């Protein structure tokens, strides 16, 4: 059974940084795609960043240059480094995983993912 558990959320002031982590257990496929999504109250869930087993990364335009996604293979942990945070980044952040998704905007589409964590809250104050 695949398990994803997010951690690292919190409250920071604008301009600050946070690092989100998501250990992934029970995943046996060598071909995979993992991603971070976020959802603010009253808004749809949106893809933030993705990384696949070939190392391809993809970012939403709103976070390019500020967020970095990585995968610590030794620890089977998905990481999202968030810098220069803005109040607009306030949301519940979720990690997700699935089998290989072709390098394309599909990697940031929530319907492409089967396995999800429960989320960690990020709040950025001005």
**In this predicted structure, what is the pLDDT of residue 1?**
80
The whole-number pLDDT of residue 27 equals 75
At residue 86, the pLDDT reads 98
Q: Which two tokens stand for residue 85?
A: 């945070």
Judge whether residue 44 has pLDDT over 80: yes
Average pLDDT estimate for 44-52: 97
Helices within the chain (DSSP H only)? none
Condensed to tens digits (0 to 9), the pLDDT of residues 74-107 reads 888 999 999 999 999 999 999 999 988 888 999 9
Q: For residue 124, what pLDDT band results from cuts at 50, 70 and 90?
A: very high
């Amino acid at each position: 059974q695949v398990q994803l558990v997010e951690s690292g959320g919190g409250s920071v002031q604008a301009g600050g940084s946070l690092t989100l982590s998501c250990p992934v257990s029970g995943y046996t496929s060598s071909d995979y795609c993992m991603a971070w999504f976020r959802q603010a109250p009253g808004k749809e869930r949106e893809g933030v960043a993705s990384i696949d087993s070939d190392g391809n990364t993809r970012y939403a335009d709103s976070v390019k240059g500020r967020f970095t996604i990585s995968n610590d293979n030794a620890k089977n942990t998905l990481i999202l480094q968030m810098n220069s945070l803005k109040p607009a980044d306030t949301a519940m952040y979720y990690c997700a995983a699935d089998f290989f998704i072709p390098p394309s905007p599909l990697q940031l589409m929530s319907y492409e993912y089967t396995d999800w964590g429960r989320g960690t809250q990020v709040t950025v104050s001005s």
